[in-house]
Structure 1
Amino acid sequence: MTALYITVGAIVGAWVLAYYEAGSRLWTIFFAALLGAILTASGAGTLVMGIAFAIFAVPALIMNVKSIRAKVVTAPVFKGFKAVLPPMTSTEREALEAGDTWWDAEMFRGKPEWNKLLDDHKAAEYTAEEQSFMDNEVNELCAMLDDWKISFEDKDLPEEVWNFMREKRFFSMLISKEWGGLGFSAYAQSAVVTKLATRSLAGAVTVMVPNSLGPGELLMHYGTDEQKKHWLPGLADGTHIPCFALTGPEAGSDAGAIPDVGIVCEQEFEGKKTLGLKLTFSKRYITLAPVATCVGLAFKLYDPEGLLGDENKSDYGITCALLPADHPGVEIGNRHFPAAFMNGTVRGEDVFIPVDWIIGGVEKAGGGWRMLVECLSAGRGISLPALSAASSKVAYRMTGAYSRLRRQFKTPIGMFEGVQEANGRIAGYTYKLEAMRALTASAVDVCSPSVVTAIAKYHMTEMMRTVTTDAVDVHGGRAVQQGPRNYLATGYQGIPIAITVEGANILTRNLMIFGQGAIRCHPYVFPEMEAARDDNLSEFDNLFWGHIGYSANRAVRAFTYGLTGAAFVSSPTNGPMAKYYKQLTRMSCALAFTSDVTMGVLGGELKRMENLSARLADVLSELYMASAVLKYYYDNGETAEDLPHAEWNLQLSLFNIQTAFEEFIDNFPNPVVARILKTLVLPLGRSYKQPSDKLRNKIAAMMMEPTALRDRLTKEAYFGTSEDDVTGRMECAYNSLLAIEPVYNKFLKAVGKGKATGLTITEQLASAVANGIITQIEADGIAAFDKQRFDALATDEFTKEYIATSGKVANEAKIEQIA
């Protein structure tokens, strides 16, 4: 019995110490007490006890005296660690060091401090100037954008739109007021692009690119004073239209593979001998290139003669320069046609530029990759999330209205469960997309969060794909037939653009999110790698033993939380979200432990096991997306309308996390380690379920109602107000339905029961009036509404000449009278 007590006490004691991440001294006391208990229970004498404790004192001394521990225990580990440390290219190192960690680090480390997100990170708000710009200039620009004319007829923005964008400084939202720009926050920039994208993809992209990865941002962050003075005022007032040439025929997502080169040399320039670069480059997929007046260029810089001052260095790596588009040798090539926005090629052979044209000057020679990664991570948090949220806002508002207006079997189609399945996803994802857009953009205002923005880019564009496809499915032929009435077609066609640009989604999920997140967000891994590269044994000793305690703590916590259903985990709130905070903390802890085991077992091999990396990336991503939903729900007053939308998303995230863990463990190459992971991470098996049909149908039905949430989710969107507008006719018909629906339903019910007869609606209305079912005024209102409803559901038809000439022949589009 005594042995049982000692065993139980040892397990409980070790469990408690690991759970609270005790230091080496407490562990030493624990083992000393355990040894004493064992010796006492065995009846050992004084001499035996003395010998046993003397032997115990040796490892205790070693482990508690850092200088001894480092030499005796840590040194062999240090040697082995350096031997297996995977090689890291300068490009990979710069990518890892670029940008900042943010809330992703809290979720990755297993002990998220929720108040940092809920209270310390304040909800973003517009300044008075930003709000005025949204209400005036942005709305005015939206009203000028006729997406059908832009996309089908002209395949370009009207000249008055280009002029308006220049005049109102839409291209310089990120340029500070000091240089003539608007100096808007990332949150405001996101809102501007979002609203424009609800009106025109081409208009949004045209504004987005100069305010994302481009010369303006690079100059603001890295340019010399002379470069800023020369370029920024012109970029701010629209005199200059910039493009940035990065992608080429041989380098897409792998920007480090660009073959474009710049060779340092001396040559005559403007009448005098000048130190400069001879550039040869071929770029494609460059947005705004066909209309650009200045070109930002990424290339590999070589200095074979040591002219930059370092005779021992010839390969400087990726470098960025800015040059006029009409500079001798620069060729703006033909236009691509991904959509109506300007996109094309840029080429040059032996183009000489002064060395001063390197962005940041000679000091930034070779610093281009870090510049690009840092600026790209910020751009990812603004531009593509904005496009994704915009698509969902249009799908949400228009599909909700359409589902109430369109009837089959005398019932609004939105009441059928098959349609509700699609509409539920639209409603749930729209809520999540807006939550992520707001949180991610506000994060960019306080730091440059590289992992968070990669998560946002990948998952938001994928959700955009799902939402838009669901909206098209619900609309049927109304979304298939292109024309001035179709508000979904351009967004549907633009999905591959968002999926592909700024890093293909396959690359982002499989390599970037976890690959970068595991190293940058982990409190020990990257510092350990740095200590190894610096051959700093003392620093490595501190980190290594801290890492051991950290891993043991996360293992015990993950198992404890799994066994108890996270019942004893603290939550920042006591409301209906409390259980979700607890479960997300549990899964955060599980991710931290699983990541440690994975990196420890697989090491550098993990780089090549992309599917495993992708599944852990999914866990980290779902943790972030769930956090965004919790934050949005909290910031918007925890309303009854928000609750089912938040719960649908949180339940789905937990289910997806569980699935990702299961698939990861099932495919882990070491079966013994896989079994340990499954026992500790999912000790009771599957505990999370997908959202119920009832919950999904609830938010689908709410999408058809004129709620405050509906207006809030579509606030940063532009919808027309007239019946001849692409979205306005659906809005007007929907609002008319809300006003007349009670009497309209009474009339339809009477027709269904045979109390109002006739072959046409005119005859049926006359019958209903004659039988006293409705009044003549009500009948007139129904007749007017039915005509309006029919017009809103109708599609376009064109003459063959119009189609053949892409609308260049003057011809009125006729409305096909088939709903």
Structure 2
Amino acid sequence: MTPDPRAALEDVFSIDPLLTEEERGWRDRARSFAEQRILPIIEQDFEDKHFRTELVSELGAAGFLGMHLMDPGCAGAGAVSYGLVCHELEAADSGWRTFVSVQGSLAMSAISKYGSDEQRAEWLPAMARGERIGCFALTEPDGGSDPGAMRTSAHRDGDDWVITGSKRWIGLASLAHVAVVWAATEDGVRGFLVPTESVGFSARPIEGKLSMRASVQCDVTLDEVRVPSDALLPGARGLSGPFGCLNEARYGIVWGAMGAARSCLEAALGRATSRQVFGRPIGSTQLIQAKLADMLVEYEKGVLLALHLGRLKETGRLTPAQISVGKLNSVREALAIAREARTVLGGDGVTSAFPVMRHMANLESVRTYEGTDEIHTLVLGRALTGLGAFA
């Protein structure tokens, strides 16, 4: 009998004793959702460039949207529980973990952290249920890694604000009901809640993507969009505002990328024990076993790092530099695992019979967004030396 790859991995890497019953419950619910609602359709959706909007309300009903927030309507789950949900969703597809991240860690977190009581009451319960979708409009066409050079601007006109500019690679923007827009003002960078039905707001899905094909990313144009004064997020002033949300999203990636890595490792392990070459399973050869062992070691190290960061986050001790360690390591090693898994699968590894090439393509996007490898490397260099080397 061919061994079950998931069971084999869990036998070698036993993480359950390190988790609480509540954390295991969140993980198991997310795993069940991913296996029942995402995996049966994701290969075709990736091929068709189709985002399955009907799953949004189901994610809300499961409690996954903004689950780490303490606001009314949100689950108030711990950081490790949230990480485990990200892990399981990205094991199915990075696009669906990205959706949960954009909705919960970016748009909802911005409203929770920096919004007024009225803004939180208006938006967060409905967003937690998946009835309203949010997006986070920070990145611009000319400088994703340099938000300090932001060209989108907002100025006062009577009791209103008028916002003009453009944003790029904005997840969910064409589907969203509200955009958290970051703009330069005479008082520094400020955040605004912009209903996407506002005159002058337009979002166009980016075509030609070879990655994140079952997800939606957009170019956004703001052509003198007028919003009332109460659209301003009162608690956000300067780049510390959006950076506070980005760190929430980066934390989810630390766990999520390892989910994609696990999916690739399971595919390689299953193939190694089932494919017969030269009269025996390829997994009985030393070279294949070395590949599997190396992948397992990096996967286990990545998950343990994620768990460590989660425990720090739960006690309020997680620093931005530590998040950079996790994001840099998890995505880099997940890509390495995906590439090594592809070699075990041989020529069939480049087909949709296995999830590895889809994960590999998606991870290239994950590697770029929420801070490139280069940016996180420089964050760590500055933390170690006290010297900035960004320019």
Shorter chain as denominator, the TM-score bin is: 0.7 to 0.9
Structure of greater relative contact order (alpha carbons < 8 Å, 6+ residues apart): 2
Closer, same or farther: CA 226–124 of 1 in aligned 2, 3 Å:
farther
Q: Pairwise mapping of residues 350-389 of structure 1 onto structure 2 (< 5 A)?
A: 350-360=224-234, 364=236, 367-382=237-252, 384-389=253-258
1:508 matched residue in structure 2: 376
1:651-708 deviation per Cα after TM superposition (whole angstroms, max 9, x unaligned): xxxxxxxxxxxxxxxxxxxxxxxxxxxxxxxxxxxxxxxxxxxxxxxxxxxxxxxxxx
Please tell me whether the aligned partners of residues 111 and 119 of structure 2 are also in contact (alpha carbons under 8 angstroms): yes
1:454 is aligned with what amino acid? Answer: S
**Counterparts of 2:190 and 2:24, CA distance in 1:** 38
The offset of 1:137, in angstroms, is: 5.9
Runs of 5+ unmatched residues, structure 1: 1-122, 267-274, 303-315, 520-603, 611-819
**Counterparts of 2:82 and 2:116, CA distance in 1:** 25
Asked whether 1:479 is paired with 2:349, we answer yes
Please tell me whether the aligned partners of residues 194 and 389 of structure 1 are also in contact (alpha carbons under 8 angstroms): yes
**Counterparts of 1:427 and 1:209, CA distance in 2:** 29
Please tell me whether the aligned partners of residues 243 and 288 of structure 1 are also in contact (alpha carbons under 8 angstroms): yes
**Counterparts of 1:228 and 1:167, CA distance in 2:** 19
The offset of 1:294, in angstroms, is: 0.4
2:294 is aligned with what amino acid? Answer: R
2:382 is aligned with what amino acid? Answer: G
Please tell me whether the aligned partners of residues 30 and 89 of structure 2 are also in contact (alpha carbons under 8 angstroms): no
Q: Pairwise mapping of residues 607-756 of structure 1 onto structure 2 (< 5 A)?
A: 607=389
2:215 is aligned with what amino acid? Answer: F
2:156 to 260, 264, 275: 264
The offset of 1:353, in angstroms, is: 1.6
2:42 matched residue in structure 1: 147
Please tell me whether the aligned partners of residues 187 and 441 of structure 1 are also in contact (alpha carbons under 8 angstroms): yes
Asked whether 1:451 is paired with 2:321, we answer yes
Q: Pairwise mapping of residues 413-432 of structure 1 onto structure 2 (< 5 A)?
A: 413-432=282-301
**Counterparts of 2:68 and 2:104, CA distance in 1:** 6
Please tell me whether the aligned partners of residues 241 and 294 of structure 1 are also in contact (alpha carbons under 8 angstroms): yes
The offset of 1:465, in angstroms, is: 1.1
Asked whether 1:301 is paired with 2:301, we answer no
**Counterparts of 1:422 and 1:406, CA distance in 2:** 16
Closer, same or farther: CA 133–428 of 1 in aligned 2, 3 Å:
closer
1:460 matched residue in structure 2: 330
Asked whether 1:280 is paired with 2:164, we answer yes
1:191 matched residue in structure 2: 84
1:711-749 deviation per Cα after TM superposition (whole angstroms, max 9, x unaligned): xxxxxxxxxxxxxxxxxxxxxxxxxxxxxxxxxxxxxxx
TM-score by length of 1: 0.43
Give SS of 1:476's match. helix
**Counterparts of 1:335 and 1:290, CA distance in 2:** 10
Please tell me whether the aligned partners of residues 126 and 188 of structure 1 are also in contact (alpha carbons under 8 angstroms): no
1:175 matched residue in structure 2: 69
2:5 matched residue in structure 1: none
The offset of 1:278, in angstroms, is: 1.3
Where is the strand percentage greater, Structure 1 or Structure 2?
2
The offset of 1:392, in angstroms, is: 2.1
Please tell me whether the aligned partners of residues 66 and 103 of structure 2 are also in contact (alpha carbons under 8 angstroms): yes
Identity of aligned residues (%): 20
The offset of 1:124, in angstroms, is: 6.3
2:51 to 156, 160, 165: 156
**Counterparts of 2:372 and 2:30, CA distance in 1:** 33
The offset of 1:517, in angstroms, is: 4.4
The offset of 1:282, in angstroms, is: 0.4
1:208 is aligned with what amino acid? Answer: S
Asked whether 1:408 is paired with 2:277, we answer yes
Give SS of 2:239's match. helix
Please tell me whether the aligned partners of residues 392 and 433 of structure 1 are also in contact (alpha carbons under 8 angstroms): no
The offset of 1:188, in angstroms, is: 0.8
Please tell me whether the aligned partners of residues 141 and 161 of structure 1 are also in contact (alpha carbons under 8 angstroms): no
1:219 to 68, 89, 111: 111
**Counterparts of 1:398 and 1:137, CA distance in 2:** 20
The offset of 1:227, in angstroms, is: 1.6
Give SS of 1:290's match. coil
1:365-419 deviation per Cα after TM superposition (whole angstroms, max 9, x unaligned): xx1411222222232122x112221122122223223212222222322233332
Over the residues paired in the alignment, what is the CA RMSD in angstroms? 2.2
Closer, same or farther: CA 244–607 of 1 in aligned 2, 3 Å:
same
Q: Pairwise mapping of residues 297-336 of structure 1 onto structure 2 (< 5 A)?
A: 297-302=181-186, 316-336=187-207
**Counterparts of 2:354 and 2:372, CA distance in 1:** 28
Closer, same or farther: CA 372–489 of 1 in aligned 2, 3 Å:
same
Where is the helix percentage greater, Structure 1 or Structure 2?
1
**Counterparts of 1:301 and 1:126, CA distance in 2:** 46
Please tell me whether the aligned partners of residues 57 and 129 of structure 2 are also in contact (alpha carbons under 8 angstroms): no
1:325-352 deviation per Cα after TM superposition (whole angstroms, max 9, x unaligned): 1122211223443421111122111112
TM-score by length of 2: 0.88
Please tell me whether the aligned partners of residues 380 and 453 of structure 1 are also in contact (alpha carbons under 8 angstroms): yes
Closer, same or farther: CA 380–280 of 1 in aligned 2, 3 Å:
same
The offset of 1:172, in angstroms, is: 2.4
1:238 matched residue in structure 2: 130
2:60 to 148, 166, 169: 166
2:312 is aligned with what amino acid? Answer: A
1:438 to 282, 303, 307: 307
The offset of 1:472, in angstroms, is: 0.2
The offset of 1:443, in angstroms, is: 1.9
**Counterparts of 1:189 and 1:219, CA distance in 2:** 18
Find the structure with the greater CA-based Rg: 1
1:208-227 deviation per Cα after TM superposition (whole angstroms, max 9, x unaligned): 22122x22112222222122
Runs of 5+ unmatched residues, structure 2: 1-16
1:48 matched residue in structure 2: none
**Counterparts of 2:204 and 2:351, CA distance in 1:** 34
Aligned residues: 369
The offset of 1:497, in angstroms, is: 0.7
Please tell me whether the aligned partners of residues 34 and 88 of structure 2 are also in contact (alpha carbons under 8 angstroms): no
